[in-house]
Structure 1
Amino acid sequence: MTENMRLMTVADLNQIIADMPRYWGERDMRQGHHYPLVHEFGQTCIVADSPDGIRGYLMGWVNHDHVGYIHFIATRDDTRGTGLGRRLHAEFARSAAEQGATSLKAITAVTNTGSFAFHTTIGFQAETVEDYAGPGQARVVFTRDL
């Protein structure tokens, strides 16, 4: 089944939050899904929609340094391994470039091996940065030129 890439709405975010386990399993990621991101950065918050609902999404923005920052990218449990994450990423990269981005960036915990595998497979460079999220809180910082 193919999906339609389109801009995220507040109604979409409500549905994503209601269906959070389908995207994140046991991890409760609601605290990072901020409604102002949809309101203020709606041109770079994307859903992959289909007749059976939202199959995946990406929330991001372009900062003042012309970096397209990927805040969240997630695919529904029944769409993993279909290339949907790559398609969402490509749509975000296109949109971010249209807004002047010259590179992309994403951050994850050092223990998130799935995120590491995904981002490095699609061409990101990875660097572990000590204390990135505060004292003793290392993070993997992914970067890629557009």
Structure 2
Amino acid sequence: MTLRHPAASDHPRLQVALADWWGGLGGDAGVLQRQLLVPRLFLQHFAETSYLVEGDDGALRAFLIGFLSQTEPKTAYIHFVGVCPEGQRGGLGSALYHRFFDTARGHGRTQVRCITSPTNLNSIAYHTRMGFRLEPGDRVEGGVPVHGDYDGPGLDRVSFVRDL
């Protein structure tokens, strides 16, 4: 396996992964939502804090898109992470998170933030196992604090923070 920073030329491969790796979750609308969350600009402007993992065959196996907050100088942010279905539960995701934590620490950051959908129970469980705390929201659903309309009307999110 090879770990490297992404380039703008990786964008088409990421778009395919965003369509394929989630098993059709959300249908065509879900695919489009995921693809729109990872525009080319992340690969152009946040490459040094983002990572790709490729197999020996050159196929994309995992990715993490992250950046250092310009507004909060002690904060880094993980925007989107994906691991191919065959690579899940094999430590690729955790390795990417830990690499990002090291990058963030190296830039003097003391916390990492991220969000997920309240319906993505696997993501909520994963982030909790990775040491993230759930931040209080404006309501609780199924024991999970939810930030209503976080990303716009009807776009509720769960917010996490992890101290480094």
TM-score (norm 1): 0.90
Which ranges in structure 1 are unaligned for 5 or more consecutive residues?
none
Determine if the alignment matches structure 1 residue 42 to structure 2 residue 47: yes
Residue of structure 2 equivalent to 1:132: 150
- Structure showing greater Rg: 2
Contact 1:5 1:91 in 2 (8 A): no
Residue of structure 1 equivalent to 2:62: 56
Contact 1:23 1:75 in 2 (8 A): yes
Residue of structure 2 equivalent to 1:19: 17
One-letter code of the match for 1:55?
A: R
Contact 2:149 2:156 in 1 (8 A): yes
Determine if the alignment matches structure 1 residue 101 to structure 2 residue 106: no
Which ranges in structure 2 are unaligned for 5 or more consecutive residues?
25-29, 136-145
Deviation at 1:14, TM superposition (A): 1.8
- Bigger share in strand: 1
Deviation at 1:137, TM superposition (A): 3.6
> What CA distance in whole angstroms lies between the structure 1 residues aligned with 2:152 and 2:15?
27
> What CA distance in whole angstroms lies between the structure 2 residues aligned with 1:60 and 1:72?
7
One-letter code of the match for 1:59?
A: I
One-letter code of the match for 1:63?
A: S
Deviation string, structure 1 residues 30-89 (Cα, Å, up to 9, x no partner): 111111111111111100122231110000101021311111011001111101110010
1:130–1:20 CA distance, 2 compared to 1 (3 A): closer
Deviation at 1:119, TM superposition (A): 0.3
RMSD between aligned residues: 1.5
TM-score (norm 2): 0.81
**How many residue pairs align between the two structures?**
144
> What CA distance in whole angstroms lies between the structure 2 residues aligned with 1:81 and 1:44?
23
Deviation string, structure 1 residues 104-138 (Cα, Å, up to 9, x no partner): 01111111111101100010001332332234543
